[in-house]
Structures are given as C-alpha cells and as structure tokens.
Amino acid sequence: MQNVQEKWLIEGIEPLLEQGEREEIPARETIYYPGTPSTSVYFVEDGKVKLSYLDPSGKRITLALRATGELFGEMALVGEQRHRHHAEAMEDSVLIRIPRERMLHWVRSRPDVLYQLLQLFGLWIRDLEEIVEDLAFRDIQARLSRQLLRLSHEYGVKTKDGILISFRLTHRDLAEMIGSARENTTMALNRFAREGILAKRRYQIIIKDVDGLKEKCGPS
Amino acid sequence: MQNVQEKWLIEGIEPLLEQGEREEIPARETIYYPGTPSTSVYFVEDGKVKLSYLDPSGKRITLALRATGELFGEMALVGEQRHRHHAEAMEDSVLIRIPRERMLHWVRSRPDVLYQLLQLFGLWIRDLEEIVEDLAFRDIQARLSRQLLRLSHEYGVKTKDGILISFRLTHRDLAEMIGSARENTTMALNRFAREGILAKRRYQIIIKDVDGLKEKCGPS
C-alpha cells in the first residue's frame, strides 16, 4: 500500500500525549482484558504490547504487536464499549493513556489527524485480512513462514549468522500468532531448522535463508 | 458497539454522489478482481454486492455483503493501489462510482464525514475480527449458526414459517461465507433441518427456531 506508513504512528500527536497519563507496565502483565470497559487509547512510549483474542476454552490467537511510538485501543474512538482484545506487555513497557473523550475532542477539529487515523484503521484492516487469508487458505508451514518474514521485516536485526528477531519469542508465542497448536509449530520450526532455513536458540530465532523461507510461503 | 450504525451508510454524502458515474451491473458479474487498480469508491444505489478473497487454487472466502445505500472499495482512500477483494454483483445492481481523488478532496475538508468513515472502518475491523475468531476457534456448525444469525439479522423477513433470508443463497454461498467446504456446509444444514431449526427450499433458507440456532453458536 503506497502512501501508507507501515507503523502505527501519528504525526503531530505530541501535544495530545502531553495531556495523557503515564503508566509503567511490567513484562507479561495485562493492560486490559476482553470485556474491560473501553475508555482510553494507549500510546507505547517504550516497550512492546501484544494484542490477542482469548476463546472461552483458553485458546489464544495473537493479532498484532504494538511497539514504541505506536498506539492501540483505538476502537474506543468509534464507539466500542468494551475491549475485545487482551492487551499484555511483552516486555517492561511505558504507556501513555489518553481518555477517549479527550482524544476525540482533539482529533475532530484536526482533519489531518483524522485522516491519519483512517490510514491506521486501513492498515489494521489489511493485517486482519491477511490473518483471514492465512487461516482460510494456508497450512501451518506457510503461515509460520509468512509470520517469520513479517517479524524479521519489522523486528529483524542483521547478525553474522542471519537475521535475528530481536525480542524474546517462545514457540507458544509463535503458535498463537499463526493460530496453531504449540506442538505443530515446534515441529514446523524443527523442520525449518533441519533444512537450514533458520537457527533456534533459547527464546531466539535467527533466519539464515530468507529466500528459502519465502519459498515455504506458497503462492501469495 | 454503541453509537455506531451497523450499516455502511454515510450521512450527508448525497452532493458527492451526484458527481459520480452510474453503472449497471447484471447479477453474478464481476465489478473488480483482486489485482485490479484500486482507483474508486463504489456506492450501491440498488442491489447487493459480495466481497470475497480468492486463493490461487480457486478457493474463496466471502468477507462481506454490501446492500443498497452502502459503500465498498473504501481502501482506495487510504493508499491501496490494487484491490485485494473480488467484488461481484449478487443480483442486478446499480452502482455509483466516485474516483478516489474526488472523494478524498471532498471528505478532507469535512471532519464529520471523515469521522463517519472512521466508524465504518471500525465496523469492518470488528467484522473481520469476528471472522478471525470463527476461523481460529469455532467448528463448522458454530460458524454456520453465527453466519445464519447475522444474515437473518440483516436480511431476515418474517414469514408464517419463520425468518426467511430474503435473497437467493446457495449452499456454496454459505460455505464461502464460513470458510468451509460446500459438502460439509450441506451436511450441517441438513442436520439443522432434521432438528427443526431451519427449513431449506431451493436457494432459500427459513430459520424456524432462532433460540435453537443461538445454542449451536457455542460460547461467544
């Protein structure tokens, strides 16, 4: 999508952020649960947040990560009464919380900011559509490959061994990102490791053969 | 979601529509394919349009229907270069096509319309999230029940036999709405018919027992 930034950033939002409340959230702590009243938008000043769905049986699917500078909880702006996601800090994080009404008041007289929000909602739509495509059409191997490519694109750091995904990532985290069982995800990771496509270390994944990984994605 | 209309309508859009081009599309004809340049937004003056994804093997998942008064192709407004959906007329339809630049020019000086667009994008996000939840967590029976309830909510007409879904609907249409094989969808429909939850006629479905159908949805 040309003209659209890939990150969840809004230019010119700083004066609004100065009116927000700063909150420190330790790693693995919940920011809100599904069903919690949706009354604020959150900006990540520092850290990383995971947004996921929980089903009543405890199964989880991760929908997105939001990192430093990005925002989440934006559905509060369009009338959402209760959060549908689970939001959890993936690492120690600092958030700025802006009450819905304050942010609405601020943006409604700023068409340029409203348009940027529309673009962010558009990004979210495109991401969700990719998740739908993956779940409807693709097997675990293809879903895992696509997810690893996305992570390496957003969080990859070049090292002498390959592209390191630069944060702590368990097999369960990955399984929840592709809507698969943990066991099947581990099997697919092991297969990729045997084939020399990636290397696994404790909580770390290094992609050694990007082209090999792209081939595993299947037709797009 | 309180405060949010459920339909894809924008108040005060009439002056813009007068600048658009009217196009008549016969039933089952394609409006655009995935990959077609995304240059316009479409308003349904009359009829019904189906938006779906196609995978390279020909499998399809239907994402949404847009009926009279509603709009589609809105991702053109946020930088989409090529359509990702397949848009097809489900019945003889009349569309009004507005070039992207003309609509952007018109809405950018109208914060209230921009905010309505943001609400529509929010609706779309919520719908897509429900599709993700269904695909990730629910079996075919629960997905079919949820889809039939949505259709009866949006297109249901009360008859003496129950709630008739008021347009031509094949088993394949339903299968593509829930991301399932046609055969499995027919099996689930037959089961619901045996249990007295619905009645099937040629291209028609009548829901006889809404509470029974709700029970089939599982926990939400």
CB B108 within 8 A of CB A111: yes
Out of B2, B80, B135, closest to residue A1 by CB: B80
Residues from chain B that touch A55, judged by Cβ atoms under 8 A, are: 133, 136-137, 219
- B163 and B101 in a single domain? The answer is no
Out of A108, A131, A137, closest to residue B111 by CB: A108
Q: Has residue B220 been placed in a domain?
A: no
Which run of H or E residues covers position A131? helix A111-137
Residue in A153, A141, A147, A156 with CA at minimum distance from that of residue A192: A141
Partner-chain contact A118 B122, CB within 8 Å: no
What pLDDT score was predicted for residue A220?
63
What pLDDT score was predicted for residue B28?
94
Partner-chain contact A3 B79, CB within 8 Å: yes
Q: Has residue A36 been placed in a domain?
A: yes
Partner-chain contact B133 A55, CB within 8 Å: yes
CB B213 within 8 A of CB B145: yes
Q: Has residue B175 been placed in a domain?
A: yes
CB A147 within 8 A of CB A192: no
* Residues in chain A where the model's pLDDT stays below 50: 1-5
What pLDDT score was predicted for residue B70?
94
* Residues in chain B where the model's pLDDT stays below 50: 1-5
CA of B101 vs chain A CAs: smallest distance (Å) = 13
Question: Which residue range forms the structural domain that includes residue A49?
Answer: 4-134
- Which ipTM score applies to this complex? 0.91
DSSP secondary structure code for residue A37 in this structure: B
Read off φ and ψ for residue B159, nearest 5 degrees.
-130, 175
Please state the pTM of the whole predicted model: 0.91
Widest distance between CA atoms in chain B: 56
What pLDDT score was predicted for residue B8?
82
- B94 and B200 in a single domain? The answer is no
Decide which of B67, B100, B134 is a domain's last residue.
B134
- A12 and A88 in a single domain? The answer is yes
- B34 and B121 in a single domain? The answer is yes
Give the three-state DSSP class for B178.
Answer: helix
Sheet holding B86-89, edge to edge: B30-32, B86-89, B48-54, B60-67
* Model pLDDT for residues B41-60, shown as the tens digit of each residue: 999 999 999 999 988 778 89
Q: Has residue A220 been placed in a domain?
A: no
Partner-chain contact A114 B114, CB within 8 Å: yes
Residue in A220, A135, A137, A146 with CA at minimum distance from that of residue A188: A146
Out of B1, B56, B111, closest to residue A80 by CB: B1
- A117 and A37 in a single domain? The answer is yes
Dist. CA B13–CA B177, nearest whole Å = 30
What pLDDT score was predicted for residue B220?
63
What percent of chain A has a predicted confidence (pLDDT) above 70? Answer: 97
Partner-chain contact B122 A53, CB within 8 Å: no
What pLDDT score was predicted for residue A75?
97
Number of domains in chain B: 2
Residue in A192, A183, A206 with CA at minimum distance from that of residue A141: A192
Dist. CA A65–CA A91, nearest whole Å = 11
Decide which of B84, B111, B134 is a domain's last residue.
B134
